Structure 1
Amino acid sequence: MIGPYAKARASLAFILFGLGLLVPLEAQASFKPDELRASVLKLAASFKGVPYKYGAESPYAFDCSGFVRYVYREAAGIDLPRSARSYTAVGRAVKQSDALPGDIFIFNTVGNAASHVALYTGGGRLIHAVSDGPNTGVIESPLSDRYWGSRVIGVRSVIAASERPTAAAAPATAGTAPSAAGAVPAKPAPAAKPASPAAERSIADIGFDIAPSRQLINDPIPTQAGTSLAFTVTNTTGKAGDFIILFYVVEPKTLTIREIHREKVRLAAGASYSLPPYAFDAPGKYKLAVKGEWGSLLLERGFEVVAAK
């Protein structure tokens, strides 16, 4: 018996094929690299304006890695990782100056790790699913943008290209972005393979600052149930300190809060700390709080976990 999701997916595939946005798996072997790149970008552009949701990977909503993964799977039959932090090891590294349309740009947006991915469209522009700033969802951005341009830590290619330079593998930490000088050939990516259902859990990396004054934030972007959130906190108070980081769930019937995680860290001024990914499987309202050494509330971030569509 075919369920409603399978029917919807089949209908979507039929529509995309009719619009020339989907490359049938059996035909991919005969496609030239440039044709596959064009197919990837054509499908990517068709999703402009789709909203952002942490952990989402569907035509209804995406996060950054879900967008790149979905587009490559549907347009080129290439299976990619589910979390941005895994993209430093896919395909082969290329120098930013040699990037071709369809290549994947990797960014450090949280302070100490790969945390965002985008597709290069050529002409110094990107298309990606964005979670913060004046615009969210699937948008185009110029690489000349000061925010994005300063946070590139690598470029990866998963589609074959003829005789072009490659770069050393992108690092996973900030401040060590690969240099064009001294680039060495990287191992070529394996041939494109048909995508298979992934068991990999989605990890959404979210960074925030501990400021000198109290901050109360409600994140307007929902998190899809089954997603692991990896929070990175940066101490911007101007001095070293001890901090207590807590997760709470808001009980729906009583509206009381129940503690589900507690961790104490010491951070030097300007230092960052990444919490291990924490799985949020049950829909509901949650809070992340950071308290000072004596229990004073420094930051509270509310967010909602919603059921997958």
Structure 2
Amino acid sequence: MRNFPRLLLGALALALPLGHLAALGPPSATAATRVIGGSEVTAADHPWVVAVASREYFGSGRSGQFCGGVLVGRSAVATAAHCFSSEVLGTDVSRVDDLRVVVGRTDLRTDEGREIEVARVWVNPAWDSRTNAGDLAVLTLASPMPAGDVLPMAEKEDPAYAPGTSAGVFGWGDVRGDGSYATTLRKARVSVLEDARCAAAYPGGPAGTYQPESMVCAGLPQGGPDACQGDSGGPLVARGRLVGLVSWGVGCGERDLPGVYTRVGSVRDLIADSGGVS
């Protein structure tokens, strides 16, 4: 399940918990969220999509990818806090000496693009693993990227949050919900959903609690396209802006169980204050 919370990491189906990561060899089903029902796209056309990786903890077959992320500054990557939990990594993040951000790589089996060292990991101290609120981390890169590769962030009251808005979610996670992780970047087309629908799906309990002030949910009412294990931390994009980060959910692509994302408009000041955005 995604709650698993979709906090699982792994390969792109876009999802580990939508943010769930695991340190098992090939991305573990407990670690990533995937993109379900999506289609292949290229990193060249979407240079702001990145893979968060550690070959030591997740193997080298898919460049060590265990979560997704998005360039929000020349030296800053926004991703999910749960990606750096001990449950996902199997250790404290301070012990992961080979943490890298992979940019410009469509196929994780290749050496296309670059692998950039992470100089600093900031995990939101207000992240609540019980409710999944505040699921945000910011990685500061050792080398800056071109300004043109940065994706603009939505404002708090951005019209892109209107229900029915078409959005795309990106990742290398599970593509079928059964641990079938993608090797190439994928995109799934979803719609921003009404807060009432999301609150009804996640009223509180083991799976998490939907909180509209800090979360946004997206999918299709009948189920279908969705993020999944291994996609955690990846971007939800609408109207050319970053509106969400893959965070959690139950299952992948199931009817009446939409994917839940960290609402970027509500945390953009936190991102700016994290130290990596310039």
TM-score by structure 1 length? 0.24
Q: Which has the higher strand share?
A: 1
* Higher RCO by CA contacts (8 Å cutoff, separation 6 or greater): 2
Q: Which has the higher helix share?
A: 1
* Structure label with greater radius of gyration: 1
TM-score by structure 2 length? 0.26
